[in-house]
Structure 1
Amino acid sequence: MDDATRAGSPLLRISHRCVGTTHVIEVAGEVDAATAPELGRAAGPEFVDPAVAGLVVDLTGVGFIDSAGLTMLARLHSRTRERGAAFTVVAATHAVKRALRITGLDELFTVASELDGDLRPE
């Protein structure tokens, strides 16, 4: 499934794809107070099958994330783990990696530096 879904803000682009039993949400732009709700909706049951074994939020294309975006990642982690699925964030930019490290979110969920072609859930 390569269901490209564009969020309402020109500052955020979101697309979806499935790799086996893992759902990948690819995000590009800025994740802040104005756009974080779009990310939350993109991970909702309208887009992500609740039966997936893993959810990957790929932030490779994100250059900025604020506390609202970080809070949304923590919520998505919680919702995903409640369903018994694995949750991974891909963070390639220094700004995003630093924000995850400073807040301790990198200890709450798996953070990868790149999107691995082998997306088996952990």
Structure 2
Amino acid sequence: MTTRRQADGGIVVEVRGSLDAATVDALRVSLLDTLQSDRPALMIVDLTYVTFMDSMGIGTLVAGHEAARDIGTRFLLRNPSEFVHRQLRVTGLTDLFGLPSDPSSSRTYTV
């Protein structure tokens, strides 16, 4: 996982590999710490390279969304794979994350 600041002040967190019990703690800490310390206007979680996500990964994204909402930060998911989109759809969270019903219709979603 890498975190970088964009020229506009937004922060991009690029996640790689699996989001499961073995890996989500690092992502959760990174999201929450970055939100608290930097208070960006925008946080983008880039899921391009996420190959697997279970309920722990979903819970981490929800926690990031809630923490961002609490401080007034806009939270975006970028480039979720069809697998990741399907996991969110199956769990009934597509509305929370503002995802369209067809994952190929757009690749960046407002959360």
TM-score interval w.r.t. the shorter chain?
0.7 to 0.9
Shift of 1:109: 2.2
Cα distance in 2, alignment partners of residues 59 and 84 from structure 1: 22
Aligned positions, number: 103
Which segments of 5 or more consecutive residues in structure 2 lack a partner in the other structure? 100-105
Cα distance in 2, alignment partners of residues 80 and 41 from structure 1: 13
**Is 2:74 aligned against 1:80?**
no
Shift of 1:114: 4.7
Among 45, 65, 68, the residue aligned to 1:57: 45
Which deviations, in whole Å up to 9, do the C-alpha atoms of 1:55-97 show, x marking residues without a partner? 1111110010000000110011000000011111124322101
2:9 and 2:42 in contact (8 A); partners too: yes
Query: What secondary structure, in the 3-state scheme, does the structure 1 residue paired with 2:72 have?
Result: coil
Query: What secondary structure, in the 3-state scheme, does the structure 2 residue paired with 1:58 have?
Result: strand
Query: What secondary structure, in the 3-state scheme, does the structure 1 residue paired with 2:95 have?
Result: helix
Cα distance in 2, alignment partners of residues 106 and 51 from structure 1: 25
Pairwise mapping of residues 63-74 of structure 1 onto structure 2 (< 5 A)?
63-74=51-62
Shift of 1:44: 2.9
Question: What RMSD over aligned residues (CA atoms) do the two structures have, in Å?
Answer: 2.2
Runs of 4+ deviating beyond 2 Å: 47-51, 109-112
Pairwise mapping of residues 106-117 of structure 1 onto structure 2 (< 5 A)?
106-111=94-99, 113-114=107-108
Which segments of 5 or more consecutive residues in structure 1 lack a partner in the other structure? 1-13, 116-120
With structure 2 as the length reference, what TM-score do the two structures score?
Answer: 0.81
Cα distance in 1, alignment partners of residues 74 and 3 from structure 2: 17
Among 18, 23, 30, the residue aligned to 1:35: 23
Write 1 or 2 for the structure with the bigger share of helix.
2
The percentage of counterpart residues that share the same residue type is 33
